[in-house]
Structure 1
Amino acid sequence: MAEMTGMDPTRAILGTFAQAFIDGEWQTNINHLEANVEIDKRELNLVGHNWVQFKIGAKRGTGTISGYKVSSKMIQRDFGKFDIISKLDDPEAYGFERVRLIRCMPDRVQLANWTAGEEVTEETAFTFEDYELLDPIEI
């Protein structure tokens, strides 16, 4: 009987070793980064087709970055644009992935959010205008 081989579980990437860089500066306080691109699909009804066809329209990049508050840098950035580089790495993975989020702009700036006796965290939702896959993970 042939033995089935599946995914090597040690190759599953954990976010533990991930890094975020804002304008080149490593953000050691960050523990969550999410970025997504949505496309505005345009529906086309074409003759000779009984299926709706789709054309890619404008793209929209959105994301959230969060972690422990250690400085006032996000307040000081105000609503200025910045770049984020996400590095997803794990020593047991096939490699690492770096994605550059270009011209990020906060949706809102958090001025205060604290509770006595608890760690202060900071979350910033943002949009971005483009992205670049700098280093893909390839098997």
Structure 2
Amino acid sequence: MLDASRVILGTYGQAHVDGVWQTNINKLEASVEMEKRELNLVGNDWKVHKRGIKKGTGTMSGYKVTSDMIRRGFNRFEIITKLDDPEAFGHESIRLIRCTPDKIQLANWTAGEEVQEETTFTFEGYELLDPIVAN
């Protein structure tokens, strides 16, 4: 049976951009999609799939506190994302390699509201640095 205390909460997530902890970030999503080619082979009544190239995409969002993302422009950066819930079996760290922003948000504000900042990006590789393993 699942021990509910082992379920990881995003509250303990961290994002480090080029080694600097982004304490203003409250959401990070990254995923890899693999292109697959469908093949029809003689003598086979199932479609088979040939693995193709991969594409990494992500979104990082939170509160605006600096002009760091504007200053970076479209230069590449590296993200290390970490989940470290104290009740979990351990922590997980993943390095996102050669991240490049899709667009740069120059202004997005409304009077009386916190200013949110969102950066969508692509990346060209990843490395699982610290896996979570059940004890």
Q: Normalized against structure 1, the TM-score is what?
A: 0.95
Following the alignment from structure 1 to structure 2, what is the Cα–Cα distance between the partners of residues 52 and 7?
Answer: 37
Counterparts of 1:27-106 in structure 2 under 5 Å? Answer: 27-106=22-101
User: How far did residue 48 of structure 1 move?
Assistant: 2.2
Q: Deviations over 1:74-101 (max 9, x none)?
A: 0011001000000011000000100000
* Cα deviation, residue 112, structure 1: 0.3
Unaligned runs of 5+ in 1: 1-5
Distance 2:79 2:21 in 1: 10
Of residues 1, 4, 7, the one that matches 2:2 is: 7
- 1: CA distance, partners of 2:42 / 2:126: 36
User: Percent sequence identity over matched residues?
Assistant: 68
2:119 aligns with one of 82, 99, 124: 124
SS at match of 1:70: coil
Output the amino acid matched with 2:11. T
**Structure 1 residues 31-56: Cα deviation after superposition (integer angstroms, max 9, x where no partner):** 00000101101111112211000111
| Alpha-carbon distance in structure 1 between the residues aligned to 2:6 and 2:81 | 19
RMSD (Å), alpha carbons: 0.6
Count of residue pairs the alignment pairs up: 134
Q: Structure 2: any 5+ residue segments left out of the alignment?
A: none
Q: For 1:16-41, what per-residue CA distance to the aligned partner results, in whole angstroms no more than 9, with x for missing partners?
A: 11100000000000000000101101
**Segments ≥4 residues shifted beyond 6 Å:** none
* Paired amino acid for 1:122: E
SS of the residue aligned with 2:5? helix
Q: Which whole-Å CA distance do the structure 1 matches of 2:80 and 2:117 have between them?
A: 18
